[in-house]
């Protein structure tokens, strides 16, 4: 129960990355309450009933949902006062602290992906951990190479963020891959997508008044979508060879692999849709709350006429 609650908090924190610095603490509290409701609804739909996706690391329900909830909210509050239009320039000290955070995330991401998996055998958990490490390695290689190719130098946004994209993308497929090449490929592709997003896409989103402060679309959104879709490919191509039966982390004895692949795609886009809808609701509420917070009724000359009875000494005779 506490593990599931911490995953819900992770989704909220991801969304927070899109609007940080542009909202008040009260608005963040309201957003968190609304988003947890949407997160719980999404989780109930994709992990139960006829869909029942395989996603031990939360590529769909945590990263995709959280990222696009935050982006939808950011798009709506971007219609109000233009706060945060210019990207902040990081300082040397902030980059050092950011690197410390990246190292911690890189080291603990394997335990994050395997933490919710109720494995009965140790090797089942080790497969998830191994796939996560391989994918993170792939995203590091892609981030460093593409950053130099695109920018002619190493960029700290790429180093601090795109190197983690493999952990996001492998979440859905980490229990399905039994070939290390597959996990490495997921990391390479997701790291490339993330680096290109930081280099090319973020500025275009800002022109549409979608101010993605921390680049959650590049680190969580697009890699999360890719992770959900890649899990569909891996499970559709799955075959019950003696090796795979011995290494399987879930019971595939009654699974129609092609059908489950379609369900993985459905779960990915359901998470995207519910995330956007939840973010739109959050943005609408925050937009109204902002108007209320920034309306000074007491400076309105008509306020006192409507709401304050004249005193005895001021009554007109």
The two tokens of residue 190 are 């997701």
Angle, helix 257-293 to helix 25-46, in steps of 10 degrees: 160
Evaluate whether 124 touches 249 at the Cβ level (below 8 Å): yes
The two tokens of residue 272 are 């995207």
In order of their start, the domains of the chain are 2-314 (1.10.3430.10)
Banded pLDDT at 310 (limits 50, 70, 90): low
Could you count the other beta carbons within 10 Å of the beta carbon of residue 79?
10
The two tokens of residue 26 are 């009260």
Which position has the higher pLDDT, 141 or 211?
141
pTM: 0.85
Which position has the higher pLDDT, 313 or 226?
226
What per-residue confidence (pLDDT) applies to 214?
Answer: 87
In whole angstroms, give the CA distance from residue 99 to residue 223.
20
Evaluate whether 76 touches 284 at the Cβ level (below 8 Å): yes
In whole angstroms, give the CA distance from residue 216 to residue 66.
9
For the segment 65-96, what is each residue's pLDDT rounded down to a tens digit? 999 999 999 989 876 655 444 555 667 788 88
For the segment 239-292, what is each residue's pLDDT rounded down to a tens digit? 655 445 444 555 566 777 888 899 999 999 999 999 999 999 999 999 888 777
What per-residue confidence (pLDDT) applies to 311?
Answer: 52
Banded pLDDT at 64 (limits 50, 70, 90): very high
For the segment 198-208, what is each residue's pLDDT rounded down to a tens digit? 988 888 887 77
In whole angstroms, give the CA distance from residue 232 to residue 221.
17
Banded pLDDT at 177 (limits 50, 70, 90): confident
Could you count the other beta carbons within 10 Å of the beta carbon of residue 102?
16
User: What would the mean pLDDT of 168-183 be, rounded to a whole number?
Assistant: 90
Nearest to 24 by CA among 72, 81, 66: 81
* Helix residue spans in the chain (DSSP H): 2-19, 25-46, 65-77, 92-115, 122-151, 156-161, 165-169, 180-196, 202-207, 216, 222-236, 242-247, 257-293, 301-307
Q: Kindly state the percentage of the chain with pLDDT values over 90.
A: 49
What per-residue confidence (pLDDT) applies to 303?
Answer: 46
Residue 304 clears pLDDT 50, i.e. is over it: no
In whole angstroms, give the CA distance from residue 28 to residue 34.
10
Evaluate whether 174 touches 55 at the Cβ level (below 8 Å): no
């Amino acid at each position: 129960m506490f593990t599931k609650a911490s995953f819900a908090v992770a989704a909220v924190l991801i969304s927070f990355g899109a609007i940080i610095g542009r909202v008040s603490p009260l608005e963040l509290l309201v957003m968190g309450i609304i988003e947890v409701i949407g997160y719980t609804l999404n989780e109930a739909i994709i992990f139960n009933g006829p869909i029942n996706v395989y996603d031990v690391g939360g590529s769909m329900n945590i990263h995709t949902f959280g990222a696009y909830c935050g982006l939808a909210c950011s798009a709506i509050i971007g219609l109000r006062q233009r706060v945060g239009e210019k990207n902040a320039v990081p300082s040397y000290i902030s980059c050092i602290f950011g690197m410390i955070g990246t190292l911690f995330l890189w080291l603990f991401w394997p335990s994050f992906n395997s933490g919710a998996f109720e494995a009965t055998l140790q090797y089942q958990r080790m497969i998830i951990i191994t796939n996560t490490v391989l994918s993170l390695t792939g995203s590091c290689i892609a981030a460093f190479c593409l950053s130099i190719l695109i920018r002619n130098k190493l960029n700290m946004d790429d180093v601090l963020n795109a190197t983690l994209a493999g952990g996001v993308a492998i979440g859905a497929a980490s229990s399905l891959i039994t070939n290390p090449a597959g996990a490495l490929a997921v990391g390479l592709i997701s790291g490339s997508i993330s680096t290109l997003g930081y280099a090319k896409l973020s500025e275009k989103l800002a022109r549409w008044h979608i101010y993605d402060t921390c680049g959650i679309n590049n680190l969580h959104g697009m890699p999360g979508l890719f992770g959900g879709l890649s899990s569909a490919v891996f499970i559709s191509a799955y075959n019950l060879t003696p090796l795979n039966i011995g290494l399987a982390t879930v019971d595939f004895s009654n699974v129609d692999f092609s059908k489950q692949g379609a369900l993985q795609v459905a779960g990915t886009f359901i998470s995207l849709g519910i995330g956007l809808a939840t973010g739109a609701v959050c943005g609408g509420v925050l937009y109204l709350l902002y108007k209320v917070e920034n309306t000074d009724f007491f400076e309105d000359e008509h306020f006192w006429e409507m709401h304050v009875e004249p005193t005895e000494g001021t009554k007109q005779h």
